[in-house]
Amino acid sequence: MNRREFLKFAGATSLAAAFPVRSAFAGAQPHVVVVGGGVGGATFAKYLKMADKNIKVTLIEKNPVYIRPYGSSEVLTGHIQMKDLDVTYDALKSRYGVEMLIDTVVGFDPDKKTVSTAGGKSLAYDRLIVSPGIELKYEAIEGYSEAIANTKVPSGWIPGAQTQLLADQIKSIPKGGTFLLVAPPNPYRCPPGPYERSALVAEWFKKHNPTAKVLILDPKDAFVTDTTMQQGWNRLYGYKMPKSFEEKFVEELRKFKVFSAQEGVDALYAKGILKRNSGPSMISWVTGKEGGRVLKLDAANMTVEAENGVHKADVINIVPPMVAGTIAQKMGLTDKSGWCPIKRESFESTVHKDVHVLGDSSIADAMPKSGFSANTQAKVAALAVAASLKGQQPGIPSWENTCYALAGSDYGFFVADVFALKEGKITNVSGHRYLPLNASEAQIRLGAVYQQAWMKSFTDDCFA
C-alpha cells in the first residue's frame, strides 16, 4: 500500500469531520504511544498522523538514531559503511508532528493505561503500539553469551558494534581461512538473510582471499529463496547443487512449462541454468538432515560442535535463536512460543486490550519476519486504530511482502507475496513468486539494482 492508496483508505474510514477521534480520558486529545522506533513503530507513527493529524502520537525509542538491520550485511564487505545504516527521526518530528521521546520503556499498567520509562516518565495512552523487534537468545547455544558476541564471536543480527567487529574480523582472515556462519532455527528475522550474508562474504573472498571458504551450519533443510540463492552460489562461487535441489529445479521448470516432461537434470546444465562445477566450492551448506544443527561453541579454541562433528574456523558468526523483543515479554504480551499472539485484522494483542504488537515480535502466521512485513502491518494497524478511535470498524485488510536478496553485488533476486485473511489466519494468497530459474542475465542484474533502490525508497516510506 503506497502513500496515495493509504490516504484514500484513511479518507474512506474517517468520513471527514463527521466522526471525530475520541479519547477515553475526558476532554483530552486521543493519545497513541508507540514503543520502538524501528520499521514497524516509525511507519505506524507516520501513517497514523497521515490518517488523522488530530491524534497525538508519541514515539518512544531507546536510541536517538535507528541503525537499520536491512542491508546491514553490506557493511561486512565494505560496500557501505556503518554510518550508512543510520536513520534519523527528524522527518517524523518536523514533517508529521510525531512527538519523539528518547528513552527506554520498562513497563506498563494495562488497567490505568499508562506506560513507564527508565527515565522516570509515565505516559497515559488510549492505544499502545509495541514494535520492539527481537531479542537474541545467545545462551541457547552452549558456550555462547552476549559478552562473547560483543568481543569474539559476533552475531550482528541486531546491527551495531558487533556488525563492525565482524567486518573487521572478515578482513583479517588468513589466506585460505574459514568463515563459519551458524544459521538459526525457524522462526527468525529475515529468512534469506543468513544465506545472503554468506554469499556476500564469499564475494569478498573471491576478490581478496580466493582460497578462503564459507561454511554454513544449519538446523534446517530449506529456506525461502533456497533455489534461487543456491543457483547464485552455483554460478558465482563454484557451489555444487545437491541432488534433491536439482530435482526441485526440474520440477519447478516443468511446472512453469520452461522444461518439457522429457527434460531432466541434464538439461539444467545443458541450458546453462546451473553450472557443472568440478573444482572446490567456496560455499558449503550443511543442512539439518546432514547434521548441521549446532550444539556448542568453544570460543577459546574457535570451534563449533555440530551434530556432524567439530568445525574449526577463523571467524565464527552466530545467528542465534530469537524471540520477541524483551519489553514485549516483560509486558506479558508473549505466549509460550516466545512471540506475541494478535488479532489479525488489527494486530491488537489477544492478551491485552488496546495494545497492538507489530513487526518481528508478532505472530503473523504466513508472513515472514521482515521489514517489508512490519511496514505493511503498521499501515493496516494505523487504519484500524484511526477507525477505532472514531468508533468505527476497521476494513478487511490484506498485506504484502517482498524480500530482495543478493548472491553478489550484481546478482539480485526476490520473493514477493500477497496475504489475506482465510479462516482467521494470515494466508499467502499469491503463491510464492520468485525470480524465474531461467531469468536472463539482465533480469538478475536488475534484481540487484531494484534491491538497492528498494533500500532507499523503503527507508523513506518508513521514516521520511
Ligand X SMILES: Cc1cc2nc3c(=O)[nH]c(=O)nc-3n(C[C@H](O)[C@H](O)[C@H](O)COP(=O)(O)OP(=O)(O)OC[C@H]3O[C@@H](n4cnc5c(N)ncnc54)[C@H](O)[C@@H]3O)c2cc1C
Binding site for ligand X (CB under 6 A): 35-41, 60-63, 66, 69-70, 72-73, 104-105, 131-133, 157, 189-190, 193, 325, 327, 359-361, 369-372, 374, 403-404
User: Smallest gap, in angstroms, from Cβ of residue 36 to ligand X?
Assistant: 3
Q: Cell numbers of 194, please? A: 543468513
Which residue number, 35 or 217, has a Cβ lying nearer to ligand X?
35
Question: How distant, in Å, are the alpha carbons of 37, 231, 370, 429 from that of 62?
Answer: 8, 41, 21, 37
Which residue number, 39 or 214, has a Cβ lying nearer to ligand X?
39
Rounded Cα–Cα distance for residues 420 and 139 (Å): 36
User: Smallest gap, in angstroms, from Cβ of residue 372 to ligand X?
Assistant: 4
Which residue number, 67 or 267, has a Cβ lying nearer to ligand X?
67
199: left (phi over 0), alpha (psi -120 to 50) or beta: alpha
State residue 334 phi and psi, 5-degree precision: -95, 160
Rounded Cα–Cα distance for residues 156 and 149 (Å): 8
DSSP one-letter string for 272-322: TSS----S--SEEEE-TTTT--EEEEETTTTEEEETTEEEE-SEEEE---E
User: Smallest gap, in angstroms, from Cβ of residue 50 to ligand X?
Assistant: 18
Rounded Cα–Cα distance for residues 61 and 88 (Å): 11
User: Smallest gap, in angstroms, from Cβ of residue 110 to ligand X?
Assistant: 16
Q: What is the DSSP letter of 210?
A: T
Which residue number, 36 or 397, has a Cβ lying nearer to ligand X?
36
Q: Cell numbers of 63, please? A: 536510541
Residues 6+ apart with CB under 8 A from 41: 34, 35, 59, 61, 129, 131, 358, 359, 378
Tell me which residue has its CB nearest to ligand X.
Answer: 38
Helix, strand, or coil (residue 44): helix
Which residue number, 181 or 386, has a Cβ lying nearer to ligand X?
181
Which residue number, 42 or 274, has a Cβ lying nearer to ligand X?
42
Pair 358, 127: CB distance under 8 Å: no
Helix, strand, or coil (residue 116): strand
User: Smallest gap, in angstroms, from Cβ of residue 331 to ligand X?
Assistant: 9
Which residue number, 21 or 340, has a Cβ lying nearer to ligand X?
340
User: Smallest gap, in angstroms, from Cβ of residue 375 to ligand X?
Assistant: 8
User: Smallest gap, in angstroms, from Cβ of residue 413 to ligand X?
Assistant: 12
User: Smallest gap, in angstroms, from Cβ of residue 81 to ligand X?
Assistant: 16
Which residue number, 379 or 390, has a Cβ lying nearer to ligand X?
379
